[in-house]
Amino acid sequence: MPDSSTILSPDGPAYTRTAVALHWLIAALIAVGFAIGLVVSDLPFSPQKLRWVAYHKWIGVTVFVLAAVRLLWRLTHRPPPWVAMPAWQLVAAKFSHALLYTLMFVLPLLGWLFSSAAGVPVVYLGLVRLPDLVAKNKALADSLIEMHVNCAWLLCGIVAVHAAAALKHHFLDRDDTLRRMLRWTAPGAPR
């Protein structure tokens, strides 16, 4: 095992403040949105359930928008280089990141499509009614909700693997993988 003093560097390359803020904000919203989705699925139809479903939708729309901002930021601000790791881990990391980005867009879009097919509008923050993406169609709604739920579980699994890999890099490999996403200030990095 390498000597941690030669690998862990408080001044090494890190993500920008914007990238760090977007990462953790989206992560928190995904966790809360997932938890609400789990709870609401077991609630009987009631005003309380409708309120929680609205919160779930608002979170989904917010994640979609923030994911777009995050993707634009990433395309215009080079992230720090990958730390040294075996080739298979690098391939797995790149694949899981691509899947995370994909699911941050697909999952809210499936929820919006489901709402449209179910005939229930999405009214963001109770103020802005989003257009229906498809006509009301019960059979389509049933398929879309199943895809939405399956993608939510897939996202949950990928997030768990992502977090486990970051912890493995930090505690076992003792490299900067996690540290550069925890560091709020990156030396010389744009904010």
Parse the chain into domains and list their residue ranges. Answer: 10-182
88: DSSP letter: H
Q: Is 173 helix (H, G, I), strand (E, B) or coil?
A: helix
Q: What amino acid occupies position 190?
A: P
pLDDT of residue 177: 87
Beta bridge partners of 27: none
Task: Spell out the residues 6+ positions from residue 173 whose beta carbon is closer than 8 angstroms to its own.
Answer: 7, 83, 85
Which residues of the chain carry a pLDDT beneath 50?
1-9, 186, 189-191
pLDDT of residue 191: 44
DSSP H helices, the chain, are 4-7, 17-41, 47-76, 87-118, 138-168, 179-182
48-50-55-58 Cα dihedral, nearest 10 degrees: -170
pLDDT of 189 reads 45
Query: Is the pTM here over 0.85, yes or no?
Result: yes
Contact 156, 104 (CB under 8 A): no
pLDDT at 5: 32
Structure tokens at 153: 């579980």
Q: Is 131 helix (H, G, I), strand (E, B) or coil?
A: coil
Tens-digit pLDDT profile for residues 120-173: 999 999 999 999 999 999 999 999 999 999 999 999 999 999 999 999 999 999
- What per-residue confidence (pLDDT) applies to 12? 66
pLDDT at 176: 87
> In whole angstroms, how far apart are CA 70 and each of 7, 79, 81, 130, 172?
28, 12, 18, 22, 29
Say what the pLDDT of residue 8 is: 40
Fold of 10-182: Fumarate Reductase Cytochrome B subunit (1.20.950)
